[in-house]
Structure 1
């Protein structure tokens, strides 16, 4: 996937999209993996991640709204991608339509210091 095309797909799906787009356009690493995953499965996984993030006090962007979007998609297949900020302080998970023509949701998680 082309960096500029992906950046163009990040609009206002969630409040994390602007930060993800900025990270991408500033040279952050990114990947979109092959194959789809059922949105219902992803909704469960990311709901658990939301609970853990809240428990641990991990800073996130748009994680609750991303879980809501994934839950509403029901059985649709979703492609997954990731953008890292250039300084690797943030990871933005992308959820794209199975045909990879649109971003459905985006969430960001501040990365723990190593």
Structure 2
């Protein structure tokens, strides 16, 4: 799968798909695993899914992608911004 293929497949399936697409356009690293196929927990059908990940160039965001078993469509995407070291320390100290 090429970067352009994945960019084209990332629509508005979930709120995270747009930011994931933007990360790819900006040069993010990505991988789609060939390993065991998994079924997305919220999927209503029994089709096995392939998974992958997208990691922003500046490592500030990450995304998990779920594709159909033939790797021809993105079914869902989740992810978001990684906490910075300072954000992590603030959260740890506050007990949140």
TM-score range, shorter chain: 0.7 to 0.9
4+ long deviations beyond 4 Å: none
What is the CA–CA distance in structure 2 between the aligned matches of 1:32 and 1:77, rounded to whole Å? 14
The structure whose RCO (Cα within 8 Å, separation 6+) is larger is 1
Q: Which has the larger radius of gyration?
A: 2
Whether contact under 8 Å (1:78, 1:98) holds in the other structure is yes
What is the CA–CA distance in structure 2 between the aligned matches of 1:17 and 1:99, rounded to whole Å? 19
What is the CA–CA distance in structure 2 between the aligned matches of 1:18 and 1:90, rounded to whole Å? 13
TM-score normalized by the length of structure 2: 0.79
* Counterpart among 65, 76, 85 of residue 56 in structure 2: 85
1:17 aligned partner: 17
Return the offset for 1:84.
1.0
Return the offset for 1:109.
2.9
1:28 aligned partner: 28
Whether contact under 8 Å (2:28, 2:55) holds in the other structure is yes
What is the CA–CA distance in structure 1 between the aligned matches of 2:60 and 2:35, rounded to whole Å? 27
How many residues align? The count is 85
What is the CA–CA distance in structure 2 between the aligned matches of 1:15 and 1:82, rounded to whole Å? 16
Q: Which runs of 5+ in 1 are unaligned?
A: 44-69
Compare the two structures and name the one with the higher helix fraction: 1
Query: RMSD across aligned C-alpha pairs, in angstroms?
Result: 1.5
